[in-house]
Amino acid sequence: MKITDIKVYKIKPRWIFVKVSTDEGIDGWGEMISGTKTETVVAGAYEMGNRIIGRNPFEIERLWQELHRSFFRSGPINSTIVSGIEMALWDIKGKYFNVPVYELLGGAARDRIKVYSWIGGDRPNEVQDQATDRYNKGFTAIKMNATEELHYIDSFKKVQDVIDRVTSIREKFGFDMEIGIDFHGRVHKPMAKVLAKELEPLRPMFLEEVVLPENEEAFSEIAQHVSTPLATGERLHTRWAFKNIFKQGVIDIIQPDVALVGGILETRKIAAMAEAYDMAVAPHAPYGPIALAATLQVDACTPNVFIQEQSLGIHYNKGFDLLDFVKNKEVFQYTNGYVDLPNKPGLGLELDEDLIEEISQEGLIWTNPKWKNYDGTIAEW
């Protein structure tokens, strides 16, 4: 079998799909992250994809090494391109052997996968109503953004607002609802210590990105103030970016993103490293259907994954829901806060290619919100 073609699709709201075709009629699908440099990712995907035309799609590790080992290693753009192509190669291989991808990675390590639902917004309010909606839909775990923008030192009123929102959920559901709280890297170390300590009595499931990953030395200081599990990893790419996290030993949960770190096998390798350090895994997956399907393949065969992020039903900027392009929608059917293991070949998706082709003609422009602090300085989003 030989790779014959690479095609890239830009899909609203912020997804980039890639299709890898072969001379035996088996196609594989992957997904890349658009971020704010969509055209750069698309151009790079064609450039890198053309390097593997005529190659054997089953040699996934060999092709990964060749694509990864550019002179300027890694980087988020290079890494998301490699991730999308690698997913597509696993999709082809699974379809050829008529098994889900996880069967080629050691087989199932669990019976089902627990999922959580995201609530709120960038400036969360009325979270109790949203949590009630998720609870009524069978979810027993949610995640919310902790706070609006915070300056290096800011008003305790903003901290109290966070406490009040989380308290409203805890008072209504007790411990029948797990609550993950995402600082989203928008909190600087001085306020992160305050916020983390004030949240601890509410017993969060975890605190995510309490500071930006480039300030990773602050993780140990914040960990001295709380016993709440700390999580990070959604912005890191390849296993080498996780090395310091593992050596530092204070993060409890890593959150690799299959569409950023280098694909399915790279995510599995990172999770295995985490297992050796007695760390849990909660993969980052807020994007489209292909990335989520690929992540579920990793979850199925990875024992230290304890919960999975997903964004079903969230329409960004009036874009599409991840089910809109999937014909076999039952693969993302959640029951009592769990999703069944995938059972179809490859990534397990039957995609609506006609709709993908149609929507991709409309183009894609995705920009993150631009926030400022009360004094006009730039704030993290």
- Would you say 120 and 315 are in contact if contact means Cβ atoms under 8 Å apart? no
Prior bond of 13 cis (ω within 30°):
yes
Residue 24 CA, distance from chain mean position: 32
Residue 146: C-alpha distances to residues 129, 269, 278 (Å) = 16, 30, 27
Q: Choose among 90, 103, 99, 209: nearest CA to 146.
A: 209
SS3 at position 64: helix
Percentages helix, strand, coil for the chain, rounded to the nearest 5? 40, 20, 40
The reply to whether 225 belongs to the active site is no
| Cα-Cα end-to-end distance for the chain | 45
* Catalytic position from the list 184, 188, 225, 237: 184
Q: Choose among 340, 360, 341: nearest CA to 352.
A: 360
What is the Cα gyration radius of the chain? 20
The reply to whether 184 belongs to the active site is yes
* Structure tokens, 130: 């949203």
Which helix or strand (DSSP H or E) is residue 196 part of?
helix 189-199
* Catalytic position from the list 151, 237, 284, 315: 284
Q: Are strands 230-232 and 253-254 parallel, antiparallel or unpaired?
A: parallel
Burial class (CB in 10 A: 0-12, 13-18, 19+), 363: exposed
Catalytic residues: 184, 284
